[in-house]
Structure 1
Amino acid sequence: MRLDFFRHKSNKKRLRRANYQGLIDSIVAGVQQVGKVGKRVYLPSTFIGGPKDMRHRYLNLMTLVQEFGKPDIFLTMTCNPNWPEIKELLQPGEESHNRPDFLPEYKLLTPEAYDRMVCSELPDKNEDSYLYSLVVRHMMYGPCGELNPKNVCIKDERCKNHYPKNFSEYTFHGKGIYPVYLRRADKRQAKVKGHMLNNQWVIPYNPTLLAEFDCHINVEGCCHIKAVKYLYKYIHKGHDKVMFRIACNDPAQVGRPEVRIIKIRNTRVTKPMDDSV
């Protein structure tokens, strides 16, 4: 319905589409294939999630950065709906909600400061079995790559999130927006989805927060101003989207589609499971 509003002719004057006429003429003049010529509808900044809206939000965010500086912590958290505090407050038919707050008390300026805040290794199973179990349950990535080449994170035969990470004997500022964390090549391993994974697969976390909330809670130190752009992108992802793969392991089943229903980010879609589609 929102797209129909911007497409409707009666709203042209309100959207000031005449301002785009010179741009339209230039585009049409450069198109040589008739099949590519179509009716273009330009979305104004009032369309939430559109290119103009996203650019305006980004510019507003950069104004905040100019005033207050870059952030110190990039933290993502996935709520555990089995928390007793949530279950006690839920009414029949209600869904769980999560509103954690995290206010860092000090700036992170050195590798030692990052090590006090962020950990990317498996804890000692004998010394802290509880924290070890939480890391294995919530903070192990994948597996992907050679262990699982068909994982959804694989793009151009590589993990788009760059796992498994390289081992490192110390934390240091790398070329990216996050530090290169301490990941020692020790003998600590954990069995995840049928594979033995080491420190290369640990998602950065804060031990205190992980033990307190018992859920996936990714904590990253921000060592570059570029982290602001990704943070803005992360919280304004736009409309719900689904990524899925069509595969058939049994050639005899080709031509006899199996349909599965999956739900991702509140979006319900049908998933064909054969190569004949």
Structure 2
Amino acid sequence: MTNEHFRGSRQYYQKQYAACMTICREIGSIDLLITYTMDPSAPELSNILLEHQNWSDRPMEVCRIFIDKLAELVKDITEREVLGPVKAWFHSLEHQKRGLPHVHFAVILDWEKMRTSGRITTKEEYMEQYISAEIPDLPNSMDRTESAQSQRLLHQIVVTKHVHTCNQHCQRDGVRCAKRFPHAYSDDNIYSDNAYPKYRRRPPPTSENERKKNPELFGNTHKYVDRYGKQHVVTNQYVVPYNHYLLSKYRSHINVELVAGDGCVKYVTKYVMKGADMAFIRVEQEGIEGGAWRYDEFHQLRLARYITSMEAFLSLWGTKLVVRSHIVFSISISFSIRFV
């Protein structure tokens, strides 16, 4: 029998989930949900790949680079407070079907500290300062300054790594997107305690003359051709929310969302709760055919864990599945039973 100390057991997941819920109950509701995904085209990884090698051929290097970047990301959020002062946080590690690791990061912000310092007074102001869901502007082609180069880099990262493309994997009933894309256009940031926040997603202009008259009212578009030769036009409706600083520094997919209520705690820990991916395997042994005797077919059905090489490496390396800012102690309660 497994227990709560066995990595990957059901009891382990239940304990981690209870600890995360305790932090939220004692300190406050989660304010930010950040998803950081390992980039297979990261220059640190591309530079060490040999000829004809893929990132999947170097699982150890992928994991080591990811863990180093994750440690730096934790420092940026919790110590350097690039997203504002933090009261508590926790994150859970998981792996995609193809093996790449990624992390769901939950953050509880210190709103009182931000309001006291005069930096932020409303949630809409926070969204304006820290989160964007629009395609960045491109500077003039003749501008060669450092800020212009940084802006071009940010634009490239957004249109290549932060644009959602609806396909059969995310569509429900072949029509609706499970991620709620495309989002409706919005001229302002709107926050509600009982609904998803609406980020500013300005529509594109009908003509360039219209943009020149009121450039602050319109958003940008991006055109590209897919591998099948089909041309696509991307607007702000398909941009995944991000933070300018984190995206420019890590150059990977880092989704930053402002949330309301305790519902995101379940979302952050749902993959941890379900455990490793499972696959049903059926092993059969055929009987002897054509003889005097025909044996009954023997079959066995097993539920086996599906673990990628990168997940196995991180497990051997002792990497924690869940990391929290606070230590939560669980107390066993027992009642003495007296029989009369």
| TM-score, scaled relative to structure 2 | 0.50
- 2:235 matched residue in structure 1: 198
**1:186 positional shift:** 2.4
- 2:24 matched residue in structure 1: 65
**1:234 positional shift:** 4.6
The alignment status of 1:137 with 2:171, answered yes or no, reads no
The alignment status of 1:223 with 2:255, answered yes or no, reads no
- 2:198 matched residue in structure 1: 180
Distance in structure 2 (CA, Å) of the matches to 1:168 and 1:222: 18
**Helix, strand or coil at the partner of 2:277:** coil
**1:82 positional shift:** 4.5
- 1:161 matched residue in structure 2: 179
Structure 1, 186-195 or 119-128: larger mean CA deviation: 186-195
Q: Is the Cα contact below 8 Å between 1:177 and 1:224 reproduced in 2?
A: no
**1:166 positional shift:** 0.8
Query: What code does the residue aligned with 1:95 have?
Result: E
Distance in structure 2 (CA, Å) of the matches to 1:87 and 1:209: 21
**1:70 positional shift:** 1.9
**1:265 positional shift:** 7.9
**Helix, strand or coil at the partner of 2:240:** coil
**1:83 positional shift:** 4.0
Q: Is the Cα contact below 8 Å between 2:182 and 2:237 reproduced in 1?
A: yes
Q: 1:95 aligns with which of 61, 71, 75?
A: 61
Greater strand content? 2
**1:118 positional shift:** 0.5
Distance in structure 1 (CA, Å) of the matches to 2:84 and 2:256: 15
Cα offsets for 1:160-211 (capped at 9, x unmatched)? 1110111111111246664111111124211353311100000000111111
The alignment status of 1:124 with 2:151, answered yes or no, reads no
Cα offsets for 1:132-176 (capped at 9, x unmatched)? 11101110001x2xxx5xx21011231111101111111112466
Q: Is the Cα contact below 8 Å between 2:193 and 2:260 reproduced in 1?
A: no
- 2:84 matched residue in structure 1: 105
The alignment status of 1:74 with 2:33, answered yes or no, reads yes
- Which ranges in structure 2 are unaligned for 5 or more consecutive residues? 51-56, 86-108, 112-121, 141-150, 206-219, 280-305, 310-340
Distance in structure 1 (CA, Å) of the matches to 2:9 and 2:18: 14
Cα offsets for 1:196-229 (capped at 9, x unmatched)? 1100000000111111111111111123222222
Distance in structure 1 (CA, Å) of the matches to 2:28 and 2:199: 23
Query: What code does the residue aligned with 1:189 have?
Result: T
- 2:320 matched residue in structure 1: none
- Which ranges in structure 1 are unaligned for 5 or more consecutive residues? 1-5, 7-42, 243-263, 268-277
**Helix, strand or coil at the partner of 1:76:** strand
**Helix, strand or coil at the partner of 1:123:** coil
Q: Is the Cα contact below 8 Å between 2:14 and 2:273 reproduced in 1?
A: no
**Helix, strand or coil at the partner of 1:95:** helix
Distance in structure 1 (CA, Å) of the matches to 2:278 and 2:237: 29
Closer, same or farther in 2 for the Cα pair 1:66/1:120, shift >3 Å?
same
Distance in structure 2 (CA, Å) of the matches to 1:165 and 1:180: 9
Closer, same or farther in 2 for the Cα pair 1:115/1:82, shift >3 Å?
same
Distance in structure 2 (CA, Å) of the matches to 1:61 and 1:198: 37
Please give the residue correspondences for 1:247-258 in structure 2 after superposition, counting only pairs within 5 Å.
Answer: none
Distance in structure 1 (CA, Å) of the matches to 2:177 and 2:127: 25
Q: Is the Cα contact below 8 Å between 2:185 and 2:201 reproduced in 1?
A: yes
Counting matched residue pairs gives: 199
Which structure carries more relative contact order (alpha carbon 8 Å, separation 6+)? 2
Closer, same or farther in 2 for the Cα pair 1:90/1:178, shift >3 Å?
farther
Using the aligned pairs only, state the percent identity.
29
Structure 1, 73-82 or 202-211: larger mean CA deviation: 73-82
Query: What code does the residue aligned with 1:207 have?
Result: H
Cα offsets for 1:20-57 (capped at 9, x unmatched)? xxxxxxxxxxxxxxxxxxxxxxx986776666654443
